[in-house]
Structure 1
Amino acid sequence: MLLYNSQARCRTLVVDVDVPGAPGLELVHQVVALLERCGAKVVVDRSPVGKHHVYVPLRDGLSVEDSGALAKALARRFPGVDPLPHTTGATSGCIRTPGSPYKDGSGYQELVTPLDTARRVLMMRNGSEVVGALRRELTEELALGAREAMELARPLEELEGAVLDAPFVGRVMAPRLVSLAQEGLYREAGYGDRSTARMALLCGAARAGMRYEDVVRRVEDGRWVGLVELFQNANKPRVLLGKEWKKALAFVARSQGEQKSVRHCNTSEAVEVTRGEHRGRSEDDVVVDEHRFVRRWRAVLDEVEAVEFSGPRGMHARFLLRALAAAAHQSGSRHVEFGVRSLSLSLPVQPSTVSRVLADLREEEDPWLVLVREAKGTRADLYELRIPARHAERAERAELPRGKVHALRPVFRELGVVAALVFEAIERGAPSTETARVRAAVSRSAAYEALGLLMAWGLVERDAQGRLLAVPERLGEVAERVGAALVVGLLVERFAAERRVWLKRLSRHRVPEEWWSAVMREGPPSNAAREPERVSVA
C-alpha cells in the first residue's frame, strides 16, 4: 500500500517495528503505550517472522516532510523502529498491509487488532489533536532531527573535508566490514537488520578516509556487491546511499572529537634523545632537520641497496629499511621505536623474520642502524638510523628524494616483491622495461614477468610513445580484488589481540614498587613510625 496519495499527503502514519520475537513484541507495547498517551487509536498487524506494523489512521493528511520527521523521531525514541517507509519519497513510500503475502512466500501479514476494532478505527481516524500531542511528546527527538537536517544540508565536500581532516582517518577497514561489503551477510557480521549494517559499513568507509565517489566506484565495479544486497529493499538505492553517506559523515565528524591524536603513535611516551642542538632552536626546526636527515639517508640507500643487499635474502632487508624510513618520517625523528609486528605489516614475512633481519643489520661492522635501547615491558627496541661512514662522501652529494617513502604496499603482498620493485622504478620515471630492471636490480626474466602482471592488473600502462607509466591510484582497488587488503586487516586485528594478551600478562607480573620510590615521593617516615612502641612493665 502506498503511504502517500496523489497530492503527496500521508493519511496513515505507520510505525515499522523491525525487531522479531519477544524483544519486538515488547517494543510494540512501548510504541502503542506512547501513542495511546497521545490519544491515538491504532491498528496492529504481524508478519510471519514476528515483526509488527502499528498504523495510526489520520483525518487530516501530513506532508512528506512532517510524516518523515515524526517517523524519524519515533525511531530515535525506540531503536528498532525503521523510518524508511516514510522517508523514501512520496512516490515510493509503501508498507505491506494485513492480508498481503510476505516477501519470502512464508505466509501472510496477519491482523492482530480485532477486525471490528480495526474497522472502527479506520472509519473514525485520529484528529489533528493527536498529531499535536505526538509532536509535544517527541519534542527533543524532533529538535535533534532538525539540527541533523541542517548539518546534512552542508555541501558534501565540506562534510567530507571535516572528516578527512580528522587524525584517525586512514586506518585499514575492519575485516568484518570488508566481508560485509563484499558479501552482504549482515546477520553473520553481527547486525540485526540491513539498515544498521549499512550505516556501520559507511561509517567504517568514512573513517578509512574514503569519499563518496570511492564508495560508488566500489559498488559499480563489483568490489562491494554485498553493499548492493544491503539496499535490496530500497526503491531508489542510489538516492538512499547519498543520504546515508551524509549521515555517516555527520556521525563520524561528531565522534572525531573523542579521538586523541598522538604524535609518537607507536609509543606511550615521548622518547627524549639529545643531539647537541642549540637550546634556542624551536621544536619545529629540529623536526625539519630530522626529516631532512631521513631523506638523505634514503637517498644514499637508494644508490647502494642493489649492491649491498642483493639476492633473495637481501629483499627483506631492502623493504625493512624502507619501513624504518617511513616510520622515521611518521615520528619526525631518526630514532624509531616500532615493534616487529608493526614493521611486519609492511613486509610479506612473519614478525620473527623481522627480528632476525634487524639483528643482522645492526650487527654489521658499519651498520645502517644502531640499537639505542633494548625492548622492555611495553616498549619496543629503540633504533637510530645512521649513514654508514663508508658512504659519508656520497651523502654530501646525494640528491634528496621527493615524495613519500613506501615499504611493501598491501597489493604486493599478493603480486610479489619483484613486482613491487619494478612498479617503484616505473613510478620514479623508468620509461622502459630494461631501465626499470636495472633500477630495480632484478633479472631480465623476472622483470618482464612482473611487468606483464602489472599491466594485466592495470597498474602500469604505456603512453602514445610506448613509454611505461605507473597508475598508483589503482593500487587500492587491486589490493581489494586480490584480497590483500583483507589480509592486512586480519593481521591488524591479530596483532592487536596479541598485544592485549601481552599487556594482561605484564599486569599480572608487575614488580612491586621499591621502598626508595615511596620515600622519594612521600618523604621519610616519622619518628613514631620508625621507633617501636615501648611497653611499660609493672
Structure 2
Amino acid sequence: MLITPLTEAYGILQRRNPVTALIALRQALAPELHRLEQDKRRQQRTAADAIATLRASDATGRSTSPKRAGERSALRSVAITGVYDTSTYPSDSEARMAVLNHFAGCGWTVDQVRAGMADKLAGLTALYGDTHRVSRLLPVEWAKAHSRITAKTPAERTRRRYAPICNTSPTKLTPPSPHRPSTPSGPTIHQLVNDLEVITYAILDSHFDQLGRIGISLKLLMRAVLGFMRTNETNILDVGCRSLAVAVGKDHVTVARLLATLERESRGIVTRIDRGRGRNADTYAIDLPADLEQHARVLPWRKGRIYGIRPVFRALGDVAALAYEGIERARHSPTTIELSRATGISRNTLSDHLTTMENLGMIRRHHGAWQIISTTNLRQLAERLGATADYGAQISRYRKERAAWHAWLDRHHVPQLTEHELYDPDVDEYWLPPADDDHEHHLALWNASRTAA
C-alpha cells in the first residue's frame, strides 16, 4: 500500500538513487537474500528427490519412501483407478488433464505415460474411453500439460489460461501521456472511487456550494472525473478537455477553466502532475489525502453509478441532473426539503425542476417523498427533447477539431535533435584550403567580379 502522497512518490521515481544508496540497500537485504537462496536450493533438492522416488517406484513397482507408501497421491490414485472427486473435476476431461499436469510436473515423458496406461495406469485409459481417443487426444493434451508446467512465470500461465478473445476496451479519445506512472489494480481503484464518492457528497459538495453558481459545474465535473477514473481503472487521468466537455455537457473552453478551479478547490484530491504537449492532454493524479482518510472509513459507500451528466439533462439543466441524482442515489426517498439540504439548491429552484421532471414521467411524488420511475427510458426521452442530437453534434465537432489539430501537428512536426546531431566533434566542419590550381581559378573569378562591379 502506498502511504506516501502520490505526487511526492511520482517525484521520487523521477530521480535516480545514488550508487551508495544501492550498495547500502544490498547490504541491508543480504541476510534475507541469503535465506531465500537457501530455501530455493532446499526446494530444488526436495523436488529432485521426489522425481527420483517416483522413477524408482515405476521401475520397482513399489515406492522406496515409507511415507509415500502410506500416503499415495490423489492424482496417482485417479490415474490407477479412474475414480475422481466430481466436486473438484466436473468431467473426465478435467480429471485426466489434472493427472497429465501432475505427471508432467514430476518429470515424466509422454512415452512413459503411454507405457503406464497399458499396465498400471488403467484408470487414465478409462478416462479417455477407448484406444482411438487415446491415440488422438493424448499427444495434444500432453503438449498442453507440458507447456503449462514449463511456463516461465505465473503471469505467463495466467495469460495463456485467461487470454482475451476480443478487445472490448473503451476507445481513448486522447492518447496517454508518455510520462505516466504506474497505477493500482482494478479492485483497489474501485475502492478508491467509492471513498472519493462519499467524500464528494459529504465534504466537497458543501464546499462547492460556497463558490456560487460555478459550484454546480464543479460538482458535475468532479463526478465526471470519478466516472472516467472508474471506467479506465486508473487514478492517473490524461483525459482531454473535450472528452470532459462531452461528459458534463459544456464547452471545452469552460471545462479548461473549471479544471484549474477544481484542482485548487478539491482539497488535494485532484493534482496536475504533467502538462500536456502535442497530442497528449494534461495528466492529473486523483488520490485521497491523508486528512480525509478517516472520514472515508466512517462514511458508508453509496449504491448506484456516478455520472457527469446524462444526455437528457442537456435539455433539462444541471440543477435537474443533481436533483435526479439526489433521488436516485439516496438511501431512502427524500422530500423536497431533504433534497434541497443534500444538493445545496434552494427549495424554489428545486421545486420548478422537480415539477418538470414529474411532468415528463421521470419521477413521482409518493406520500410527500420523491421516487424514481424506473420504467421511463431516459435515452428515448433525450431523443424526444433533442438532447441526443446535441450530444452527437458535439462529439462530431470535437472529432473534426481533433483531426485538424493532429494534421497541423503532423505538418509542423519538428524532430527533436540530440547533441551529437547538432555537433559531432569527430566530424570536420571547417573548409579545407583549396589546391593551387583551384586557388588561381578562384582568384581569376574574384578579379572578374571586381572589374564588373
TM-score (ref. length: structure 2): 0.52
| Relative contact order higher in (CA < 8 Å, ≥ 6 apart) | 2
CA distance in 2, matches of 1:339, 1:507: 19
Mapped contact 1:460–1:470 kept (Cα < 8 A): yes
- 1:341 maps to 242
Deviations 1:86-117 (A, max 9, x none): xxxxxxxxxxxxxxxxxxxxxxxxxxxxxxxx
* AA in 2 matched with 1:386: D
Is the aligned partner of 1:289 residue 2:289?
no
Deviation (angstroms), 1:365: 8.6
Deviation (angstroms), 1:458: 0.9
Q: Which runs of 5+ in 1 are unaligned?
A: 1-258, 278-284
Equivalence map 1:445-484=2 (5 Å): 445-462=348-365, 468-471=371-374, 473-484=376-387
Is the aligned partner of 1:306 residue 2:205?
yes
CA distance in 1, matches of 2:392, 2:185: 35
- 1:148 maps to none
Deviations 1:109-168 (A, max 9, x none): xxxxxxxxxxxxxxxxxxxxxxxxxxxxxxxxxxxxxxxxxxxxxxxxxxxxxxxxxxxx
User: Which segment drifts farther, 343-352 or 405-414?
Assistant: 343-352
SS of aligned partner of 1:404: coil
User: Which segment drifts farther, 452-461 or 428-437?
Assistant: 428-437
Deviations 1:256-286 (A, max 9, x none): xxx96556723434656446x8xxxxxxx72
CA distance in 1, matches of 2:397, 2:314: 17
Identical aligned pairs, as a percentage? 25
User: Which segment drifts farther, 302-311 or 469-478?
Assistant: 469-478
How many pairs does the alignment contain?
267
Deviation (angstroms), 1:504: 1.6
- 1:407 maps to 308
Deviation (angstroms), 1:488: 0.6
RMSD: 3.2
Mapped contact 2:364–2:371 kept (Cα < 8 A): yes
CA distance in 2, matches of 1:502, 1:267: 12
Q: Which runs of 5+ in 2 are unaligned?
A: 1-165, 438-453
- 1:352 maps to 253
CA distance in 2, matches of 1:410, 1:326: 15
Equivalence map 1:40-439=2 (5 Å): 265-269=172-176, 273-274=180-181, 286-310=185-209, 311-364=212-265, 366-429=267-330, 430-434=332-336, 435-439=338-342
* AA in 1 matched with 2:335: T
Deviation (angstroms), 1:359: 1.1
CA distance in 1, matches of 2:420, 2:380: 55
Decide whether aligned partners of structure 1 residues 467 and 319 sit closer, same or farther in structure 2, where only a CA change above 3 A counts: closer
Deviation (angstroms), 1:426: 1.3
CA distance in 2, matches of 1:517, 1:481: 63
User: Which segment drifts farther, 466-475 or 392-401?
Assistant: 466-475
CA distance in 1, matches of 2:327, 2:374: 10
Is the aligned partner of 1:443 residue 2:346?
yes
CA distance in 2, matches of 1:273, 1:515: 23
Decide whether aligned partners of structure 1 residues 465 and 377 sit closer, same or farther in structure 2, where only a CA change above 3 A counts: closer
Mapped contact 1:309–1:318 kept (Cα < 8 A): yes
Decide whether aligned partners of structure 1 residues 376 and 272 sit closer, same or farther in structure 2, where only a CA change above 3 A counts: closer
* AA in 2 matched with 1:381: D
Q: Which has the higher helix share?
A: 2
- 1:512 maps to 415
Mapped contact 1:426–1:470 kept (Cα < 8 A): no
Decide whether aligned partners of structure 1 residues 359 and 537 sit closer, same or farther in structure 2, where only a CA change above 3 A counts: same
Structure ID, larger Rg: 2
Decide whether aligned partners of structure 1 residues 350 and 371 sit closer, same or farther in structure 2, where only a CA change above 3 A counts: same
SS of aligned partner of 2:309: coil
Mapped contact 2:335–2:369 kept (Cα < 8 A): no
* AA in 2 matched with 1:268: P
CA distance in 2, matches of 1:438, 1:365: 21
Mapped contact 2:177–2:283 kept (Cα < 8 A): no
Mapped contact 2:242–2:252 kept (Cα < 8 A): yes
Decide whether aligned partners of structure 1 residues 401 and 271 sit closer, same or farther in structure 2, where only a CA change above 3 A counts: farther
Mapped contact 2:363–2:370 kept (Cα < 8 A): no
Is the aligned partner of 1:487 residue 2:390?
yes
Deviation (angstroms), 1:531: 10
CA distance in 2, matches of 1:354, 1:317: 9
* AA in 2 matched with 1:302: Y
CA distance in 1, matches of 2:229, 2:306: 10
Deviations 1:448-468 (A, max 9, x none): 211111111111135699762
CA distance in 2, matches of 1:518, 1:534: 25
Deviations 1:412-459 (A, max 9, x none): 111111111111111124414333232222111122211111111111
SS of aligned partner of 1:510: coil
CA distance in 2, matches of 1:472, 1:337: 36
SS of aligned partner of 1:438: helix
Deviation (angstroms), 1:295: 1.9
CA distance in 1, matches of 2:362, 2:214: 26
Deviation (angstroms), 1:472: 7.2
CA distance in 1, matches of 2:376, 2:433: 83
Mapped contact 1:345–1:488 kept (Cα < 8 A): yes
Is the aligned partner of 1:502 residue 2:405?
yes
Mapped contact 1:309–1:315 kept (Cα < 8 A): yes
SS of aligned partner of 1:345: helix
Decide whether aligned partners of structure 1 residues 537 and 499 sit closer, same or farther in structure 2, where only a CA change above 3 A counts: same
